[in-house]
Amino acid sequence: MVLPRPPGARKVRKALSADALYGLLGEGFARIPDRRQPKPSISLRDALLSAFAMFSLKDPSLLAFDQRRSDANLKALFGIGQIPSDTQMREILDPLAPEHLRPAFGDVFRQLQRGKALEPFEFYNGCYLLSLVSFR
């Protein structure tokens, strides 16, 4: 039985759900070549998703995030297989050039554009208004 949507309720768009967008980001991260030898125990994809989770959850440091490593909900929410320790995350991610990340985030951006989720943020001449924070 399908219930009618209440007046004024927004249509749920599965492609724009957190699960779908995190999955899309994970797919993009999986396409980044991992040149570490021998084959590492923690994938580059898992390290990148862990860093994204840490940033999304606003943990103040790698060490603070490290305390969440055994949280099954964290792994399920972000689709992480194995969360690296703070030291492992530094060793895995420090050598990675930022340009390798752009295609994965571009995929998410395009999905948000297609789903018209960014329209409320359009500011001037088709540009989006974003808030950026600088860290020193």
Q: What is the pLDDT of residue 30?
A: 96
What is the reported pTM?
0.81
Segment 10-20, tens digit of pLDDT: 555 788 898 99
* Structural domain count, the chain: 1
User: Is residue 66 assigned to a domain?
Assistant: yes
User: Is residue 7 assigned to a domain?
Assistant: no
- Boundaries of domain holding 87: 14-128
User: Is residue 25 assigned to a domain?
Assistant: yes
Q: Residue range 121-129: average pLDDT?
A: 83
Q: How far is CA 73 from CA 34, 68, 84, in A?
A: 26, 10, 16
The total number of residues shown for the chain amounts to 136
Q: How far is CA 46 from CA 23, 80, 97, 127, in A?
A: 12, 5, 17, 32
